[in-house]
Amino acid sequence: MSEPQIVYDRRDVEDNCIMAILAYIWLLFLVPLLAAKDSPFARFHACQGVSLFIAWVGVNVIGALLPHNLSGLHWIASVGLLVLMVIGIRNAYSGVAKPLPLIGKFLRPKK
């Protein structure tokens, strides 16, 4: 069952769309956390970006520990995370605040 999307103020979405997009690009989730900390929309996407970053670190640590003949699993997981990144960027660009599949429910901004 999918979670309902959260609706934010249209002005907040328009003003912080770029910040929300940056949240999904590796360590750039820090930019909206620091520069747009008063924006609920940017903060939501920054939390999603942190979840994505933690998953990326986990996949790479596990991938480093896997034997060479299982490296295909690491590659598949990395492609999956890339797909999640694209979904997050698309949501941010569209002004949608919808949690990422699989990992989006773990970190939520405090209200």
Instruction: Read off the pLDDT of residues 61-98 as tens digits, 9 standing for 90 and up.
Output: 998 888 887 888 989 999 999 999 999 999 999 999 99
27 backbone dihedrals φ, ψ, rounded to 5°: -80, 0
Which of 106 and 44 is assigned the larger pLDDT?
44
Question: Nearest-CA neighbor of 26 among 78, 68, 97?
Answer: 78
State whether residue 60 is helix, strand or coil: helix
User: Does residue 109 or residue 1 have the better pLDDT?
Assistant: 109
Burial of 81 (C-beta count, 10 Å sphere; 0-12/13-18/19+): buried
Is residue 58 in a domain?
yes
User: pTM score, two decimals?
Assistant: 0.86
Q: 1 lies in a domain? A: no
> If you average pLDDT over every residue of the chain, what do you get?
89
Lookup: tokens for 35: 């520069």
Question: In terms of residue numbers, what domain contains 33?
Answer: 19-94
pLDDT in tens, 48-61: 999 999 999 999 99
Domain count for the chain = 1
Q: Residue 22: helix, strand or coil by DSSP?
A: helix
